[in-house]
Each structure stands twice: as C-alpha cells, then as structure tokens.
Amino acid sequence: MGIKRQKQVRKSLAFYKKNFGYSPPYYVLVDGTFCRAALKQKINIREQLPKYLEAEVNICTTQCILDECEAFGSVLYGPLKILQQYQKAPCGHSKSIKGADKCIQHTTKKTVKYIVGTQDPVLREVLRNRTGLPILYIAFNAIMLENPSTASLMAAEKKTETELKPTLHQQTVIQKLKIQTFGDEMEVVKKKKKKVKGPNPLSCKKSKKKKTDIKPKTGSEETKKRKKRRKKHKSAHTTEAVL
C-alpha cells in the first residue's frame, strides 16, 4: 500500500473514531457485488482488509445477501462461495424486505457500527446520506475507503460546536462570577446607531432675488430736463445765425 493511500485511510478512520465511536475490531458488512469485484481483480478480502485498515476485522454478510446471490445462479456462484465463508449478521427484519440493498440499509441502522463494502453505486449514494457510515469499494486492484461524506462532515461539525458550547450549569457559574467581579449592576454600553439624516431644510429654500427700487420720476425733474434740451437747441441756432 502506498504512503499517500495509507495516510488517507488513517485520516478517515481517525475521523470516524473521534466523531462516531468506531474502534477495532471493525465489523465489515460485504455484499455480492463487492465479492465479485474482489474475485475479478484477484483480491483476497480476508487477507487484505486487516492490512488495509491496520486492525482486526470481522467480515460478515446477511442471509438476504446470500439469497440474492443464489437467485442469480451461475452469474454470482463465485461471490456466493466467498460470502458463505463469512459469519452471518442478523438481519432483524421480516421477509417483506426484498433485495440485498434494502437489507443493508436496514441492518446498518442498528447499534452495531458497520463498515459497508459494496460496488453498487445507487446503494453507496444512499449510504452517503447517512451520518458516520464508512464505505469500502474496490478500484485499481485495491480496496479503497471513501472519504467522509458531506452529511458526516456536517454532523461532526455540529457535534463539535455542541461540545464547545457551555452547559447550563457552566453558564450559571459564569454569571455568578461576573456578578462577584463587577457587582450586581453591570453597565452595558450600547453603541448609538447613526440615524440617516435628511437634507437641511434651510439649504432647500430658493434663493431670493434682490429687487432694485425704481423711483418714479417727479414733474419738476422732467421739466428741468426739457429746459436743458431747449437751451441747447437755442444756442445752436444762434451760432448758426451769427455765422
């Protein structure tokens, strides 16, 4: 196993251990599709799984999975022979559930923490929506462990937030310590929110135009102007006569 692949599986297992309580020995529930891929790529599941997970492993299957392999006859004869070597996990459901995929979905809801080994893409997608359920598959002639799903990551994050949040008792103790330190009355300075001010009403007033005072002309002023005009006219006429 490559160093990168080894680091990845260790990281994923550490995640499931910390957040969902997984611990060795691991219970690995495998179906016919997983065994068929292992047979095709010449992988010995019983030998390779403990090496890959670096821990003791209990490989198991269910009666429903065996029944489905038998129903396919010679197509899944090889996987059936492999599955018959493993211990049978109790299904715990009635015969009304049809199909190995439905059986796996039901069985993994139990208190036993299973790791599921399957090549079924539809089943794997359904199981990804479960929180804290590791999924194994076979690719590139090797057993692979999927990275934790989005549902598992979100559940782990929520769990961490809950653990970090102080309990009701802790909150009460903190409140008492605050009162002892700062007194019964603790002033809370509230920042005043700046209100949006409207335009200045004074600046909105229209500018007044200055009116020029035009004084009406009096009769005496008008008479004086006329006399001046007459005088000018006479002087001009007299000058012409003399010449």
- Domains detected in the chain: 3-156 (3.40.50.1010)
Lookup result for tokens 């198991």: 60
Tell me which DSSP letter residue 154 carries: H
* Backbone φ, ψ for residue 146 (5° rounding): -65, 150
The b-or-e profile of 127-166 (16+ CB within 10 A means b, else e) is bbebbbbbbbbbeeeebebbebbeebeebbeeeeeeeeee
Tens-place pLDDT, residues 108-124: 988 899 999 999 999 99
Which pLDDT value is given to residue 159?
A: 75
Q: Say how many residues make up the chain.
A: 243
Q: Is the pLDDT of residue 32 over 50?
A: yes
Tens-place pLDDT, residues 64-83: 999 999 999 988 999 999 99
Q: Residues with Cβ < 8 Å from 48, sequence gap 6 or more?
A: 143
- In the chain, the N- to C-terminal Cα span, in Å, equals 140
Q: How far apart are CA 112 and CA 132, in angstroms?
A: 12
Class of residue 170 by CB neighbours under 10 A (exposed 0-12, middle 13-18, buried 19+): exposed
Q: Looking at the DSSP assignment, which residues form a beta bridge with residue 141? A: none
Residue 48 has a CB neighbour count (10 Å cut-off) of: 16
How sure is the predictor about 243, in pLDDT bands with cuts at 50, 70 and 90? very low
SS3 117: strand
Tens-place pLDDT, residues 136-168: 999 999 999 999 999 999 988 887 776 666 667
Q: How far apart are CA 53 and CA 144, in angstroms?
A: 10
Tell me which DSSP letter residue 232 carries: H
Over residues 27-39, the mean pLDDT reads 97
Q: Is the pLDDT of residue 9 over 50?
A: yes
- The predicted model scores a pTM of 0.66
**In contact, 45 and 59? CB cutoff 8 Å:** yes
How sure is the predictor about 60, in pLDDT bands with cuts at 50, 70 and 90? very high
Residue 193 has a CB neighbour count (10 Å cut-off) of: 6
Distance of CA 138 to the CA centre of its chain: 30
Higher pLDDT, 183 or 237: 183
User: Which amino acid appears at position 234 of this protein?
Assistant: K
